[in-house]
Structures are given as C-alpha cells and as structure tokens.
Structure 1
Amino acid sequence: MDTTIQQDEKRPLIEPAEEIDLDEPTGCGACAPCNPRKRLHRYLILCIMCFLSFGSYFCYDNPAALQDDMTKDLTLKESEFMSLYMWYSWPNVILCFFGGFLIDRVLGVRLGAIIFSSFVTVGQVIFSVGALFDLVWLMDVGRFVFGIGGESLAVAQNTYAVRWFQGKELNMVFGLQLSFSRIGSTVNMNIMGIFYDMFTVNNPGYKGLGLTLLIVGGTSCLISLACAFALSYFDRRAEKILKNRKTSEEIVNLKDVKDFPLTMWLMTIICVAYYVTVFPFIALGLLFFENKFNFKPNDAHSVNSIVYIISAAASPIFGICVDKFGRNIYWIIIGISVTLGCHAVMGFTFLNPYVAMSFMGIAYSILASALWPLVSLVIPEHQLGTAYGVMQAIQNLGLALISYIAGLIVDSKGYLLLEIFFLVWLCIALVAAIMLYLVDAAKGGRLNLSAKERMAKN
C-alpha cells in the first residue's frame, strides 16, 4: 500500500485544510460552509452537536422544575420524588457502559446517537402519560426508558466531539457542549412552571402536569432527535469526502477495560464524587431554599437555576481558558475546592444563597471543562466511547444511590445533615484529584502540562 495512503488512514476525521493532502471537493462541497476541511463547516456541525443532547438535559430536570406541583398533584414524599432521578440513573449503571462499547464496536456513533435519542423521546412520552393518568409506577418506567438513552446519548456526543475536534480546541468544544446542556436545564427551570400554569387552567392537577411534560418536554426531545439524524448525514458525508478508513488495530474488546490506566479510574472517582453533590442538590433545591431561607416559590426557582445559568455562560469561557493555559488538574482542584466552600456556606450559615450558588455554577463549569477532555489523553481514540461509557456508568451508579439516600436524609434528618453528606463527597473528590496529580507527576506529568508544553510534545 502506498505510504501516503497509510498515513491518511491514521489521521483524525477532521483536520485543518492546510494539513490535508487530498484533493479538494468540487461543486457545493468546495465552499467553506459545505467543505468538511474548513473551520466554518466544523463550527456549523458543532452547533448541531450542541443541540444533540438539549432535549435530554431539558427533560432530565423536569421534576426539579415542577417539584412543588408534582409532589402536590401526585401526593409524593421526598424519597418518592427523588426515585424519579434514581430510576433514570439505574439503567445507566450498566447500559451506559455497553452503550459506549456499542458505539465503538457495533453501532458506530451515527446510528448509536439516533437510537439513544429515540429512547430519550419514547421515555419522555411514557413519563408524561404516567403523569397524565396519575400512574406513578408508569412515570418510573418512563424515567427508566429515558435513562437508557440519556447518558448513552451523552457518550455519543462526547465521541462526536473528539472525532471532529481532536486537538487544541477540544476543551473549548466540551465547554460549549456543557454550556448548551446547561442552557437546556436553565430553560427547563424557568419555563416549565409557566407552561404548567397555562395548561392547568383548563386541566387542573395531574392532567395539566401530564400535558406540560408531554407537549413541552416531548418537543425538546424531537428537536434533539432531528439533530441526531442531521449529524449522521454530515458525518457520513465528511467520511466519504475525506476517504477515511479504519485500520485493523481499531478493534474494541470489553476486556480492554481492565487495562485502563489508574489515572482513568481516578478521573472516574472525581466525576462521581463531585457530580453527586450538584445534581441531587439541585433536584431538592426548591424546598431547601423555601424552608431554610424563607424564599417564595418564584425566588426559590431563580436561585435553584443559577448554577445552570452561570455554567451555560461560563463553560465555553473556561473551556477556552483551559485550552489556552493547560494545567487541567489544577483547574479540577480549584473547581472542587470552590464547590466545597459553597456547600459549607449554605449548610452552616444563613447568608444569601445567591452568592454561593453563583460560585457553584462557576466551579461546576471549571471542573467539567477541565475533566472530561482528559480522558482523550489517556485512552486511545477507538476506545473513547467505551471509556466515556464506563465513566458515566459509574457516575450514574453514584447518582442513583445518592439521589435516593438524599431524599431519605431530607425526610428523616433535614437539610443540615444533607449538606454534611455532600461535603464528605467533595472531600473524597478533592483527595482523588490530588492523587491524580501525584500519579500523573510520577509518569511525567502529561495531564497537567501547560498548553505550550502539550503542543510541543504533539
């Protein structure tokens, strides 16, 4: 085989135009918006990629946005309410891992994204119908089906990101994707109550609740499904134009997981221990701010959504900062430390929670922008779907258990013990981050290089 062709096969799917030796496409494909070698085309694809999981994140926190109404209309205890999050997370303890493997080995990222987005849509419909007929068990089933697709869809999105943006832009891309996911959560927090009030005028109680979840939530899922089909088309088109081929060494086996490095498992511990202090807290946040700080429901909604609002704006900014300066592990340690301080302030003082929640949004953006791209530095590209699947599977095991335990703690002991519980998890995350730094330093410090040092080594 010709040496040039062998080199072409080993290149990423998308590279800057000046680094590609293949002939330029002709016709419409030659213009910048249509040419997959051009930066403008990649950024257009990034826009579609960001909306891929919009519906999933919008609907994930539907219960949090309607906590007061849902517990009243369906007569739920806090532990029963939190079980809606538990049922979302349980399938991902296993299926998220296999979803990543299926993306790498069986389905491919294009078909995988379509299938998982379809599960999200169907799950939201079942969840909505359960609310419409006051069938809590059917709502649990809907969240289970929704969960089958939700986290695996995030794995597909991460795989798309690395496939199109491997290199110096990756931190920014992860930050922007996180920003759009948080926009989905923020929009959910701020409009679901409005639509609930509209639908319950003629359909009071659980019927109005079900219609709100079905029409508003279902529409957002359909938008994401359309993006999955669009990405499949453009990715296939780019592959044909760039004439990429997979080599025989890109075969994935489940047994590869046991060979993942220690740094990968430390990242996973950080991911689990940190995220269980954010999402379950926001899910319970409305009543926390109403009970402890005597906030009115509208004010509680506002402060509870601040983390998502701040991270929507800050995530791409911090992604660019991490791209520019490097030192990912330092950023991770800063993010964990700031979040620890925020929970301590809200748990042990009566200071206005707007400040603490704002800093938590900044810290969350910092950690996510710095943590997730590190996986691509320690895991080969053809195993990334499996790696992200493993990471999110273990994360969802933590979320499933912690969400339910958090509900039980609130029912029996109150919010002070809940905050102490979250502080313990953040300390675990901080210890894991310090260990990640030490283990990486012993191996040459690759994960904590500055941007200039990383570019020089590449």
Structure 2
Amino acid sequence: MAKEGDGERALLAAEPDEAEAEAGSVSGAGASPLSALCDPAHLAHRIVALAFMCFLGFGSYFCYDNPAALQIQIQEDMQIPTVTFMLLYSWYSWPNVILCFFGGFLIDRVFGIRWGSIIFSLIVCIGQVVFAMGALVNAFWLMQLGRFVFGIGGESLAVAQNTYAVSWFKGKELNLVFGLQLSMARIGSTVNLNVMGWLYSRVEGLLGYPGHTTLGITLMIGGVTCIFSLICALILGYLDWRAERILHKEQGKTGEVIRLTDMKDFSLSLWLIFVICACYYVAVFPFIGLGKVFFMGKFKVSTQEASAINSIVYVLSAPLSPVFGLMVDKAGRNIFWVMCAVVATMASHMMLAFTFWNPWIAMCLLGISYSLLACALWPMVAFVVPEHQLGTAYGFMQSIQNLGLAIMSIVAGEVLDLWGYFFLEIFFIACVSVSLLAVVLLYLVDYTRGGSLNCSPRQRVELSKKTHTK
C-alpha cells in the first residue's frame, strides 16, 4: 500500500520547468519541442497516464464480485450450497495472506514496476479464464482454482497501481490521485453487480436454456474487462519506459520494506487496529457477496433492484472516499471517526436484521460508514509505528484482513445454510461488536499513553515536538 509520504520519491518530482528543460536537452537543440500530450514532463501527458492507471485495476475489481452478481445462477447451475459458494471468495483471499508481504518485494526487486503490472494483469486474466472454464465444463474445483490464481494477481496488481501513482505524481497530488483510483475501482465493482445478471439472461436467451454453459460464457465475457486492463498495463508500461528514457528518471518503488522481525516491536495500539480492521471488513465484503439473494427474499424486490441495493455501498464509496479523506486530514480525531463508522455499520446491520424498513436506508448508511472507516483507520498505522516499520505493519494488516475474509466467508456460508439470513445478520453484528470493543480499548490505551490518534492535526504536531525535545 502506498503512503502519502512516498510522494517525495516521485519520478516526476522535479519542477515542471526543470523537467521540460531536461526533456528539451535530451531531444537536442535543433529538435522541435514535444507537444503537451507527448511530453512526459507536462501535466496533460501525466493526466493521460493517470487515466491508464485508473483503468489498470478496473478488470480486477469488476471480476472480483462476479460471484456476488451471479450467486443464484452459480448455486443453481453448479448445484452447490452457500458454504461451498463462499469458497470462491475464500480462495481469492488465501494467497494474499502471504503475498501481502512479498508483492512489493516482487515489484521492487524481481519484476520492476512495468513488468510487474503486466505480469500481474496477465495472472488476473488467466485466473478469470480458468474460473469461466470451470463453469463451462461443470467443474467447480476448476472454478476454485481460477479464483485462487485470480487472487494471486489481484492484490499485487493494486500494489503496482499505487506504485505507478507515487512515481508519476507529487506528494501534494497523491491524495487526489489515490481518490480517483479508488473511485474507478468502486465503479468497476458497481458495474459488475448491476450488469452480470442482465448479461446472463441475454446469453440464456441466445442459447435457449440456463445452465453451466450459460454461466461459463457469461463469466468469459466478463473477463474481457481483465483483457482491457492488461492492455492498459502494456500502454502504461510503454509510457513509463518512455518517461524514464526522456527524463532520465528511475523506476518507481513501492517503499515497502518488509521485516518480519519488526513484529515483536508492534505496540498494543497497532494490534488493536489490526483487530478493528479484521472484524469490520468481514461484516462488509461477505455480506455483499451474499446480499443480493437476501434482499430478494426478505424485501421481495426484483433481481435488478436487489443488485442495485447491493451495489450502493460501492456507488457511495466512489465519490465519498476522497471527500472523507480530506475531512479526516483536516479534522484529525481518527479514533472518533472510526468509532462513528463502526457504530453506523452496526446500526445498518441491525436495521436489516430486525426491521422491514426500506433496505436502501441501511445500505446507504453502510456505504457511508465503510467509506469513512477506510479514510480514518488505515492512516492511523503511520501514527503508531516508526517509518522504517510501515511496510511491515501495512503488510501484516492486509494479511490479517485477508485471513479474516478467507475464514469468515466460509463461516458466513455455513451459518446461512444452517440457520438462514437472520442468524447471518446476528453473526455480522457480533463481528462489528468485537470491532467496536477494540475501538473503545484503542481510545483508552491511546489516552493513557498520551498518544496522538484522537488529536487534531495541530495537537498532533505539538505533541510530536514535545516528544522530540525530551
């Protein structure tokens, strides 16, 4: 995961005028100057590169929730229970329990950013094709293998995407760039949840019957988005190579130095942040993976409306994430915002469990709280660990998150098969309750130790000065 401070190492960190002069000297005194769109030192060219950076992960995010969009079809066509269906999400998460520690290393030391993004994009494509082939030949084990391969490429591709952003843009631009990339990722997820069911019905109409063949063709068509992202990786690799040649800049680095020995130095505050992360996200992503059928069954809505309700979390996250990020940067008080997000998420699940209120209300609340938590929780890691341990801390946080998702996805499917959606919601409420308890403990620990997690930015600076003067 790229951090804001990485902007100091930006490929284009030179001032525009200096970079343009350097580019001019390379092309020769007699050569005509490059146009704005062709000059890697110019903002217009960097905006073009940014467009390809945003689309680099579009296919991965689009296909990640293919199972959620086609839950009914997958369970009926492959004749599997819910707990088996949720293995499609678990197998995505399992490789990332380990790869979170080595994805950055592979990009920095083995492949390089350009070949790394191309290779991981290709792995995503292969995984989606294997996933679709499993449906075509009616082999669910092959579908699971496809999701495992897909998971190997998906998370590492996100690391490559962030590394490109850091290498092309300055520190002051990074918040906006990361916000735009996150927005495009959420758009990919939203389009998937609202399109794949419709696409399945169209393929069914052409073939004249449903079944695993229809499912396989639908998933194969969805994989076109992964090919599109692979093309973006190839183009972006060329643009980055060209910028390096013209501006004499080094390739981007993730800055993620992983030292597992650093774990012994992790503070109690950091471990509580890990608990909050793991227990919170298992109440969001597995729920979205199972939500469509829930809305159709309990609230008697159509398939199209159920898909729309299920995707509203991602729809709201796209515009709100940059806004909330700016708000938290200006206001500070990270623990307060995390607590608000966790309480709102619990209220959302309680509404869905105990009332028949319009589900749009609960899901909009979930979308708002999900966006707020991401902006307030992840930056707190940088406040409680030294800079040289950030790579290890973030890698471990992602590893725990993926481990929780891998295990709890299976548990959620088992609960649903045995006791139904009401007890599934109780299970999610219990997970969020543990997260809330961890937030309260984090506040108490931080307060008693004179920490800065719930300070305003000004108070945080003053506290830092006092610490350094002692």
TM-score interval for Structure 1 and Structure 2 normalised by the shorter chain = 0.7 to 0.9
Q: How does 1:9-408 map to 2 (within 5 A)?
A: 11-15=9-13, 17=15, 23-26=21-24, 32-165=36-169, 167-203=171-207, 204=209, 205-215=211-221, 217-240=222-245, 243-244=248-249, 252=257, 254-255=259-260, 257-258=262-263, 261-262=266-267, 264-375=270-381, 387-408=393-414
Matched with 2:457 is 450
Give yes or no for contact 2:258–2:392 (8 Å, CA) kept in 1: no
Q: Which runs of 5+ in 2 are unaligned?
A: 1-6, 466-470
CA distance in 2, matches of 1:33, 1:206: 47
What amino acid maps onto 1:13 in structure 2? L
Cα distance change of structure 1 residues 29 and 134 upon mapping to structure 2, 3 Å threshold = farther
CA distance in 2, matches of 1:256, 1:377: 20
CA distance in 1, matches of 2:242, 2:463: 33
Specify the SS of the correspondent of 1:13. Answer: coil
CA distance in 2, matches of 1:350, 1:23: 65
CA distance in 2, matches of 1:316, 1:119: 30
Share of identical aligned residues, percent?
Answer: 53
Tell me by how many angstroms 1:119 deviates. 1.2
CA distance in 2, matches of 1:241, 1:260: 43
CA distance in 2, matches of 1:319, 1:20: 31
CA-atom RMSD in angstroms:
3.4
Cα distance change of structure 1 residues 40 and 428 upon mapping to structure 2, 3 Å threshold = farther
Tell me by how many angstroms 1:198 deviates. 1.4
Specify the SS of the correspondent of 2:356. Answer: coil
- Higher mean C-alpha deviation, range 39-48 or range 86-95: 39-48
Cα distance change of structure 1 residues 426 and 29 upon mapping to structure 2, 3 Å threshold = farther
Tell me by how many angstroms 1:21 deviates. 8.5
Cα distance change of structure 1 residues 50 and 245 upon mapping to structure 2, 3 Å threshold = closer
Give yes or no for contact 1:105–1:251 (8 Å, CA) kept in 2: no
What amino acid maps onto 2:427 in structure 1? F
Tell me by how many angstroms 1:34 deviates. 4.7
Tell me by how many angstroms 1:358 deviates. 0.8
Give yes or no for contact 1:332–1:433 (8 Å, CA) kept in 2: yes
Tell me by how many angstroms 1:457 deviates. 8.5
Give yes or no for contact 2:257–2:391 (8 Å, CA) kept in 1: no
CA distance in 2, matches of 1:283, 1:72: 16
Give yes or no for contact 2:415–2:424 (8 Å, CA) kept in 1: yes
CA distance in 2, matches of 1:294, 1:75: 24
What amino acid maps onto 1:179 in structure 2? S
What amino acid maps onto 1:139 in structure 2? M
- Higher mean C-alpha deviation, range 38-47 or range 97-106: 38-47
Cα distance change of structure 1 residues 24 and 381 upon mapping to structure 2, 3 Å threshold = farther
1:231-266 per-position Cα deviation (integer Å, ceiling 9, x unaligned): 3333344445554569xxx89454454266435544
Q: Which runs of 5+ in 1 are unaligned?
A: 1-8
Give yes or no for contact 1:156–1:385 (8 Å, CA) kept in 2: no
Matched with 1:4 is none
Cα distance change of structure 1 residues 111 and 369 upon mapping to structure 2, 3 Å threshold = farther
Give yes or no for contact 2:9–2:166 (8 Å, CA) kept in 1: no
1:92-145 per-position Cα deviation (integer Å, ceiling 9, x unaligned): 222332223323443333332222221111000000011111111111111111
Matched with 2:4 is none
Specify the SS of the correspondent of 1:351. Answer: coil
Give yes or no for contact 1:34–1:41 (8 Å, CA) kept in 2: yes
Tell me by how many angstroms 1:193 deviates. 1.3
1:285-339 per-position Cα deviation (integer Å, ceiling 9, x unaligned): 1221122222232222221111122212322332343344444443333222211
CA distance in 2, matches of 1:322, 1:51: 27
Give yes or no for contact 1:174–1:319 (8 Å, CA) kept in 2: no
